């Protein structure tokens, strides 16, 4: 059976009140009061309101993948990832993707395809992560990093990177989700 949609049957919670508890440079911490009406049950939840993020599956004409290595402060370890970042105010996710690819790697592309979006973490985050495929990427500039970014660019055969994901060496959940979107697309089989 080829199913393209799902009929949800769970009763939704209804927001009754919401307040901003704390604001950071990147996100806001919200306290959201919610109720299940059929049970007259009320609870408060901590929610992170964040701008949308983007990830780019950037392939060269040889079908190698352009990657970024950077130190991640949350896990206090380096990671190997897809280029990506935050959609700035007033930017579409597509505009953000083009900008982030250029800034982080110096690569650009004239062939862009949206692979869709995923909820970044629906348990507590309000945002989505958009994934774009950039084909025939070429190096056209030097990196243009912000003051806190330290990024090493790597270009690997796509299959080598997929093996790093399979083995768990690459474990960033949004990178893995972006690769799943790519592998499930009709573009994964391009030669």
Summarize pLDDT for 63-107 with one digit per residue, the tens: 999 999 999 999 999 999 999 999 999 999 999 999 999 999 999
Question: Is the whole model's pTM more than 0.95, yes or no?
Answer: no
Q: Could you say which architecture CATH assigns to the domain 53-189? A: Alpha-Beta Complex (3.90)
Domain range summary for the chain, segments of one domain joined by +? 14-49, 53-189
The answer to whether 178 and 82 have CB atoms below 8 angstroms apart is: yes
Identify the pLDDT of residue 83.
Answer: 98
Provide CB contacts within 8 A for 119, sequence distance 6+: 125, 127, 128, 129
Collapsing DSSP to helix, strand or coil, 14 comes out as strand
Model confidence at 191: pLDDT above 60: no
Strands (DSSP E) along the chain, which ranges? 14-23, 28-36, 41-49, 53-59, 64-72, 77-81, 84-86, 107-108, 111-119, 128-135, 138-139, 151-157
d(CA 111, CA 135): 5
Would you state the structure tokens that stand for residue 158, as one six-digit string?
A: 């796509």
The dihedral sign for the CA sequence 158, 160, 165, 169: negative
pLDDT at 12 over 80: yes
pLDDT score at 190: 56
* Residue range 132-177, pLDDT digits in tens: 999 999 999 999 998 888 999 999 999 999 999 999 999 999 999 9
Closest by CA to 117, choosing from 26, 53, 168, is 53
């Amino acid at each position: 059976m080829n199913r393209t949609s799902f009929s949800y049957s769970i009763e939704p919670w209804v927001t009754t009140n919401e307040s901003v508890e704390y604001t950071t440079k990147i996100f806001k911490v919200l306290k959201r009061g919610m109720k299940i009406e059929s049970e007259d049950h009320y609870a408060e939840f901590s929610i992170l309101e964040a701008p949308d993020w983007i990830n780019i599956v950037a392939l060269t004409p040889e079908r190698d993948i352009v990657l970024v290595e950077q130190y991640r402060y949350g896990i206090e370890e380096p990671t190997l990832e897809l280029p990506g970042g935050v959609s700035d105010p007033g930017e579409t996710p597509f505009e953000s993707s083009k900008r982030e690819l250029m800034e982080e790697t110096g690569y650009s592309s004239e062939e862009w395809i949206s692979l869709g979006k995923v909820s970044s973490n629906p348990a507590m985050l309000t945002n989505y992560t958009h994934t774009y495929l950039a084909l025939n990427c070429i190096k056209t500039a030097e990196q243009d990093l912000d003051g806190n970014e330290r990024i090493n660019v790597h270009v690997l055969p796509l299959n080598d990177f997929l093996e790093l994901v399979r083995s768990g060496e690459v474990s960033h959940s949004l990178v893995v989700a972006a690769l799943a979107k790519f592998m499930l697309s009709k573009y994964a089989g391009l030669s």
